[in-house]
Structure 1
Amino acid sequence: MRELDPIDRNILDHLQQDGRITMTDLAARIGLSATPCTERVRRLEREGFITGYHARLNPHALGLKLLVFVEIRLSAKCEEIFDKVKQELLNIPSVMECHMVSGDFDYLVKARLSEMHDYRKLLSSILHKLPPHADSRSYVVMEELKESLYVTP
């Protein structure tokens, strides 16, 4: 990927703060006219720096008050097992994030749920779909201190 100049970084910063900003307003904030600003945004999209625009929802307002993290450790590790685990975890709607990590465990899963009963069903579903002898450790979040999607451009 190419190196971003200060104007591109400024555009990315503003779009992260307000993805619904008009190109005219964005151009005014960064000191360009609308046409070159729009061209830069389109180029940033084409080059993969901008991957989408999303509405950020309040999970509590939707009844999803339980946030859990699950560590998963596999007893056997090979490409076939990693692919199977990946496919299974990608198909669980309540899983918001899943990361293959290094260290004492293999995957870190983040899920949002309505209540503890849903958590038990999620854990049962995950363990049922994993290879034999997989181990898990869970953490239920008591208080959310900070959650951000902001990436420093």
Structure 2
Amino acid sequence: MPDAAILDPTDRAILDLLRENARRPLREIATAVGLTVAPVQRRIVRMERLGVIERYTVKINHGRIATGIEAMTELHFADDLDLAQIMEFVAQIPEVEEVLTLAGDPDALVRIRVDGVEDLRRVVSSLRSGGAVASTKTLVVLEQWTRFG
């Protein structure tokens, strides 16, 4: 694990504000944390340089566009697994949004977004076809709440 950056409470407050809205104006952040714009900007640049802030992104409201079904698929790996190969294989499937490897059961969770049930069936079949996955269990997301974003 790379060296962890040391962040003070002001850095953490800046991160919280950016997590809520990455387009928040520097002046607004500065006011919220009790600094002027220049030191806030220096802190953000430092956190970017240290890799604490990797990128700024958009949170899409999938309920407003036709994206169909979101599902989480549990993966149970075969005994002779090569985790890097599995991650590389799963990353090739365009409908896969996220992969989390876990300590415990299941071995991994895969977040999938598809247009319909037939697409979900195809993606889950693809996950099973790699040879390293012994079994899967798919759960369809009905609603979602996220603390950050």
State yes or no: 1:22 paired with 2:63: no
The alpha-carbon deviation at position 132 of structure 1 amounts to 5.8
Q: Could you list the runs of 5+ residues in structure 1 that have no partner in the other structure?
A: none
Matched residues in 2 for 1:133 and 1:32: separation? Answer: 52
Distance 2:148 2:30 in 1: 23
How far apart are the structure 2 equivalents of 1:60 and 1:75?
36
Cα RMSD of the aligned pairs, angstroms, is: 1.7
Segments ≥4 residues shifted beyond 6 Å: none
CA shift digits 1:83-118 (9 cap, x unpaired): 221111111121111111122322111111111011
Question: Structure 2: how far apart are the matches of 1:41 and 1:63?
Answer: 35
Show the counterpart of 2:146.
147
Partner of 1:138 in structure 2? 138
**Closer, same or farther: CA 67–133 of 1 in aligned 2, 3 Å:** closer
Give the TM-score, by structure 1 length. 0.86
Q: Quote the residue 1:73 is aligned against.
A: 76
**Which blocks of at least 5 consecutive residues in structure 2 are unaligned?**
none
Asked if structure 1 preserves the Cα contact closer than 8 Å seen for 2:20 and 2:148, the reply is no
Aligned to 2:83: 82
TM-score normalised to the size of structure 2? 0.88
> In the alignment, residue 89 of structure 2 is paired with which amino acid?
E
1:41 and 2:40 are equivalent in the alignment:
no
CA distance in 2: counterparts of 1:98 and 1:67, whole angstroms: 14
Q: Which amino acid aligns with 2:108?
A: Y
Cα 1:70–1:133, aligned 2, differ >3 Å: closer, same or farther?
closer
Say if 1:46 and 1:132 are closer, same or farther in 2 by CA, change over 3 A.
Answer: closer
Label 1:104 to 1:33 Cα distance change in 2 as closer, same or farther (>3 A): closer
Between the aligned partners of 1:83 and 1:134, the Cα distance in structure 2 is 16
1: CA distance between counterparts of 2:84 and 2:40? 41
Q: CA deviation at 1:122?
A: 0.6
| Partners of 1:58 and 1:43 in 2: CA distance | 31
Kindly tell me the number of residue pairs found equivalent between the two proteins.
Answer: 146
SS at structure 2 position matched to 1:35:
helix
